């Protein structure tokens, strides 16, 4: 994870090990659960910040960002993935 400028450090730092709810990877082989992404995004960004995932894969970083009130930019190499719609 990288940040531009001098971002505000998390008020409540996260633990190094987080629980993980396996999604079944229905959309992408390396899909992450939104329940794991949102605490990370909300710890290290502020509302309306921009989250960039230059290797967006499933796009779930973008989904979690939107659900957390952040803007997002996702870059995806393979058209078959960025054309998919999350149900």
Q: Does 70 interact with ligand SAM (rule: CB under 6 A)?
A: no
Q: Report the candidate in 35, 40, 36 with the shortest Cα–Cα distance to residue 13.
A: 40
Q: Does 40 interact with ligand SAM (rule: CB under 6 A)?
A: no
CA distance 53 to 81: 14
Q: Report the candidate in 19, 71, 64, 66 with the shortest Cα–Cα distance to residue 50.
A: 71
| Nearer Cβ to ligand SAM (8/26) | 26
Options 11, 78, 79, 87; binder of ligand SAM; rule CB under 6 A: 78
Nearest approach, Cβ of residue 14 and ligand SAM (Å): 17
Handedness of CA 25, 30, 35, 36 (dihedral sign): positive
Q: Does 21 interact with ligand SAM (rule: CB under 6 A)?
A: no
Residue sitting closest to ligand SAM (CB): 57
Specify the 3-state DSSP secondary structure of 52.
Answer: strand
**Chain positions contacting ligand SAM, by CB under 6 A:** 28, 30-32, 53, 55-58, 60-61, 75-78
């Amino acid at each position: 994870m990288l940040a531009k400028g001098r971002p505000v450090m998390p008020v409540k730092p996260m633990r190094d090990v987080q629980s993980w709810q396996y999604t079944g990877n229905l959309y992408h082989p390396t899909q992450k659960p939104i329940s794991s992404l949102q605490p990370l995004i909300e710890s290290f960004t502020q509302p309306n910040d921009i989250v960039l995932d230059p290797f967006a894969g499933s796009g779930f970083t973008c989904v979690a960002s939107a659900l957390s009130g952040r803007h997002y930019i996702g870059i995806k190499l393979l058209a078959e993935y960025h054309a998919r719609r999350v149900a």
